[in-house]
Structure 1
Amino acid sequence: MASRLRRDVLVAETTDRTSADVIVVGAGASGAALAARLSEDAGRTVLLVEAGPFPRRLRDFALELLDARLIPGAQPDHRAVQRYAAHLTPERPYTVVRGRHLGGSTTVNGGYFVRARRADFDRWAAAGNPAWTYDRMLPWLRALETDLDHGADDLHGGCGPVLVRRASLAHPAAVAFRDAADHLGHPLEPDKNDQAPPGFGPVPCNAVDGVRLNTGLTYALSALGRPNLTALGDCPVSRIVIRNGRATGVAVRQNGQETVFCGGEIVLCAGSLVTPQLLQLSGIGPRADLERLGIPVAVDAPAVGTRFSDHPQLVLEWSPRRELGAPHGSWLGGCLHLSSSDGTHPGDLEILQSLVPLAGLVGGTTTVPGAPLPFLVSVQSPGRTGRLSLRSADPATPPRIEYGYLASPKDRRRLREAVRATAELITTPAFDEISHGLLQPGPDVLNCDHALDGWINRNIGTAHHTCGTAPMGPDTANAVVDQYGRVHGVHGLRVADTSILPTAPLRGPAATAVLIGEVIAHAMRAELP
């Protein structure tokens, strides 16, 4: 395989030779899982191409990429991160990040590994994707994990690649959070992966004994010894080659030159920002946008990038009365899910505790003497307000990314409710013992809707949970792929990452991203219609 590939990379685009039966673009949460599973079939050759570095051994990973007490994605200009300019609202410019390294964002994120809710799966299934009901997905959720807390049972897996353990609640700040939630009458939710009513509990993580176990470690490295799998790092794809309605290869930029790898089937796993960019650069997208940039239209796909979803997030910091010590094992403390007042999506507000100061997360250290500790406060109701479009036909030009946050009164109301719920926690006796109180917003702002809306507008951030830039469904006006990732109108091309989720789930999407790789690999291996 390797020697055949080296010959093929030099051939012209008109070649009929094949580099691999399947080319997987992106070795992140979905792509590493999908490539590993596909290569279990010895008769199928797989080429996995990753835009960033592709270390071949555990010891080749930078230490901060393994330390579960840190979030490399929060560190400015980290070499494993790709940064994108965006607007969260028309007045709020922001920088969003994605992993650009083996393991993708699972290498640089917080290690949060919480399953989507039953309501999420059933909502996606109702959009014309019947394979995606919770009951049909549960076997795959179990198969991808080894739950070190629960072991194998009807809900949890005992022999999958991803090791899952819940974060400890022993830190003094986590104890205070638990007691504050109890004081305010919030129920306990000891296992956030079992679909129980939302409440307070520990966070399931793909981190064990302080090590963040990204999908490069859990899937890709163990598969590299297979002769039918070839992996290339530092190999960004610039477009998909499409001939006569079929995807036949991918063009990559190496050493300033374009090279084409030919494949029998192409699977885009480049993530929810790069995948829609590649589709549009390849002529798959809204016709008017493509024609404006002079890109030949292969398929008029109006849903590419036009209505994505994500979770708006705010950081609320409180000041400890004394040094509480560094966390052990993970930066994460407890997590409270509660429902906004409209009650349409139970558990749609998330209050996630960091045991590391924000200055530490940004600076790559677990302690910062005298620094406040943050809560990450998100509204996770499903909504589709974002738009991703091309600025240029040049692959080196980043896309335009507009989140459309705070556009409706209910968006603003839910965020006000989440902020006030967090502030209320910090006023309880449990927090009073260890905290001087919330830094901001102050009481005058908290008690005035108009003032609080202004504070939210100035401080709004995002949870980096983008989904739906190439949504699945049967209707080509509103969907880009079918329920198994096949791109409508192009043979031999699939998408397998969170781009295909019609809406972001009510929980962070990392576990669902791995699930997508597993499910679409199975569909390909079983040749599901």
Structure 2
Amino acid sequence: MTIEPVAELGSVGAKPPFRGRYLGGSTTVNGGYFIRARREDFDRWAAAGNPAWAYERMLPFLRAMETDLGFGAGDVHGADGPVLVRRGELEHPAAAAFAAAAQELGFPHEPDKNAQSTPGFGPVPSNTVDGVRLNTGVSYLRAALDRPNLTVVGNSPVIRVVITDGRATGVLVDHGGRHTVVDAGEVVLCAGSFVTPHLLQLSGIGPRADLERLGLPVLKDSFSVGARFSDHPQVLLEWAPRRDLGEPTDSWLGGCLHLSSSDGPHPGDLENLQSLAPMAALAGGTVTVPGAPLAFLVSAQTPRRTGSLRLRSADPATAPRIDYGYLQAPEDRRSLREVVRTTAELTATRAFHEVSRALLGPDPATLADDRALDVWIAGRLGTAHHTCGTAPMGPADDPGTAVDQYGRVHGIAGLRVADTSILPDAPLRGPAATAVLTGELVAHAVRHDLR
């Protein structure tokens, strides 16, 4: 799957339609889904030369950054952190029917998806409380606005990092049409997994051949920047309600089922996320659309690095070329077939039949034929927007890495990355909570000069 170049996508000089150009980044525009990575994700990243990322070492950060309104303080959860986390009650008729259907098919109950228990069905941990999205701008920055060492400047897209004699000394920004250098003792990029590698490449940090082709200086030949990123392929399955089921009360999210592919090495690598609002409503900024179908968003979440991001121009306003590389391997296609077929089984249960007239596709003949189902899926394939690994972390002597475990860019002093660009691959859950965790760890490393 390739995204053809458009000015809005991933550009530092334009306004992307679906990335978070706000205080709080993409926690301002995402689904409010705040699920931790799995223990095996952390331990896999640690084994790749990043020991600070082992689960037991990250758990104190996970606890400290949250106030869990359901489970409170304990060995797993915190009660004093900046991010409020709650779970829906699954009282909406569609959510209750999904819960009953999952039970009818024998899936485990998973009441706390942040507790590393057996994958199954349960409510979605969310940073939306009482219908209000508490993004990181609200959770973190609002409490810090009076600090004398904090200045927030908007409408100033970064053009490149200023690097002098191998050290980052600031950033060049476009402020009101004028190019201005903002000096800094240390620069931390947290523009997200598309814009951060784009900025690194524009600043002379990236694959030598690509930089030289566009006439950019090569300050650090870093093959791994943008070379092989990871994301989750997603497909939308809609179903027709039997009657008006009412509006969701405080979140568009219903239940979430994690199940395991038949031959995958990662338990819970398939996800079925329920929407209680029609897709047409979400796209239009409303709550309901009379007569519109409801949906499941299903995805294969096995960590795979199949995507690439490459510069097309030295002009910062020209977006890079993004190729997700989805479904190239037979096991990837098989995984999506499995989660689509399981969703069809769920909607056919007695429990779900109480609220649903029918799944609107694929039809039974397509479901029964692997090749036909592959074609159906390919025609509806999308992304979960879970991009990771465009500047992956690891030891400096590993050419497949761009930064160390604390986000420090290899070969360039005074420059760090603090977003999901540094994760070696996408976790088995959506990465919003892990993105916040990355910021916590990098901030801790800066304060304590960890190396």
What TM-score results when the alignment is normalised by the length of structure 1? 0.82
- Within a 5 Å distance, the mapping from 1:294-333 to structure 2 comes to 294-333=215-254
Query: Which residue does the alignment assign to 1:269?
Result: 190
Q: In 2, Cα distance between the equivalents of 1:96 and 1:489?
A: 34
- Check conservation: 2:227, 2:307, Cα contact below 8 A: yes
Q: In 2, Cα distance between the equivalents of 1:437 and 1:263?
A: 58
Give 1:416's match in structure 2, choosing from 331, 337, 357: 337
- Check conservation: 1:111, 1:207, Cα contact below 8 A: yes
Note the residue ranges of structure 2 that are not aligned, 5 or more in a row: 1-6
Query: Which residue does the alignment assign to 1:376?
Result: 297
- Within a 5 Å distance, the mapping from 1:220-239 to structure 2 comes to 220-239=141-160
Letter in 1 for 2:339: A
Give 2:67's match in structure 1, choosing from 133, 146, 164: 146
Query: Which residue does the alignment assign to 2:440?
Result: 518
After superposition, the C-alpha distances for 1:26-45 in whole angstroms (9 at most, x for unaligned) are xxxxxxxxxxxxxxxxxxxx
Q: In 1, Cα distance between the equivalents of 2:390 and 2:60?
A: 26
Q: In 2, Cα distance between the equivalents of 1:162 and 1:255?
A: 33
Q: In 2, Cα distance between the equivalents of 1:126 and 1:383?
A: 16
1:206 is aligned to 2:132: no
Query: What secondary structure does 1:105 align onto?
Result: helix
Query: What secondary structure does 2:42 align onto?
Result: helix
Query: Which residue does the alignment assign to 2:32?
Result: 111
Q: CA deviation at 1:97?
A: 2.4
Q: In 2, Cα distance between the equivalents of 1:163 and 1:85?
A: 29
Query: Which residue does the alignment assign to 2:274?
Result: 353
Letter in 2 for 1:492: G
Query: Which residue does the alignment assign to 1:484?
Result: 406
1:255 is aligned to 2:180: no
Letter in 2 for 1:453: D
Query: What secondary structure does 2:447 align onto?
Result: helix
- Check conservation: 2:190, 2:419, Cα contact below 8 A: yes
Query: What secondary structure does 1:325 align onto?
Result: coil
Q: In 2, Cα distance between the equivalents of 1:305 and 1:343?
A: 26
Q: In 2, Cα distance between the equivalents of 1:399 and 1:343?
A: 32
- Check conservation: 2:232, 2:384, Cα contact below 8 A: yes
Q: CA deviation at 1:385?
A: 0.2
Q: In 1, Cα distance between the equivalents of 2:221 and 2:194?
A: 19
Q: CA deviation at 1:221?
A: 1.4
Runs (4+) of structure 1 exceeding 4 A deviation are: none
Q: CA deviation at 1:433?
A: 1.2
Letter in 1 for 2:209: A
1:449 is aligned to 2:367: no
Q: CA deviation at 1:490?
A: 0.3
Letter in 1 for 2:294: L
Q: In 1, Cα distance between the equivalents of 2:101 and 2:142?
A: 43
CA RMSD between the two structures: 1.2
After superposition, the C-alpha distances for 1:405-428 in whole angstroms (9 at most, x for unaligned) are 011111100000010011110000
- Check conservation: 2:8, 2:319, Cα contact below 8 A: no
Query: Which residue does the alignment assign to 2:4?
Result: none
- Check conservation: 2:121, 2:256, Cα contact below 8 A: yes
- Check conservation: 2:10, 2:195, Cα contact below 8 A: no
Give 1:219's match in structure 2, choosing from 117, 126, 140: 140
Q: CA deviation at 1:254?
A: 1.5
Q: In 1, Cα distance between the equivalents of 2:161 and 2:8?
A: 23
Q: CA deviation at 1:83?
A: 4.4
After superposition, the C-alpha distances for 1:96-120 in whole angstroms (9 at most, x for unaligned) are 8211111111011110000000000
1:503 is aligned to 2:411: no
Q: CA deviation at 1:343?
A: 3.4
Query: Which residue does the alignment assign to 1:337?
Result: 258
- Check conservation: 1:97, 1:464, Cα contact below 8 A: no
Q: In 2, Cα distance between the equivalents of 1:404 and 1:479?
A: 20
Note the residue ranges of structure 1 that are not aligned, 5 or more in a row: 1-81, 87-94
Query: What secondary structure does 1:248 align onto?
Result: strand
1:404 is aligned to 2:329: no
What percent of counterpart residues are identical?
70
Q: CA deviation at 1:85?
A: 8.1
Q: In 1, Cα distance between the equivalents of 2:364 and 2:289?
A: 27
After superposition, the C-alpha distances for 1:341-367 in whole angstroms (9 at most, x for unaligned) are 113010000000000001111111111
Task: From the superposition, tell whether residues 96 and 445 of structure 1 become closer, same or farther in structure 2 (CA, over 3 Å).
Answer: farther
Query: Which residue does the alignment assign to 2:44?
Result: 123
Q: CA deviation at 1:168?
A: 2.3
What TM-score results when the alignment is normalised by the length of structure 2? 0.96
Q: In 2, Cα distance between the equivalents of 1:83 and 1:191?
A: 37
Q: In 1, Cα distance between the equivalents of 2:384 and 2:264?
A: 22
Query: What secondary structure does 1:374 align onto?
Result: strand
Query: What secondary structure does 1:322 align onto?
Result: coil
Letter in 2 for 1:199: G
- Check conservation: 1:285, 1:302, Cα contact below 8 A: yes
Query: Which residue does the alignment assign to 2:86?
Result: 165
When structure 1 is superposed on structure 2, of 225-234 and 96-105 the one drifting more is 96-105
1:84 is aligned to 2:9: yes
After superposition, the C-alpha distances for 1:187-206 in whole angstroms (9 at most, x for unaligned) are 00000000000000000000
Task: From the superposition, tell whether residues 153 and 379 of structure 1 become closer, same or farther in structure 2 (CA, over 3 Å).
Answer: same
1:465 is aligned to 2:386: yes
Task: Give the count of matched residue pairs.
Answer: 440
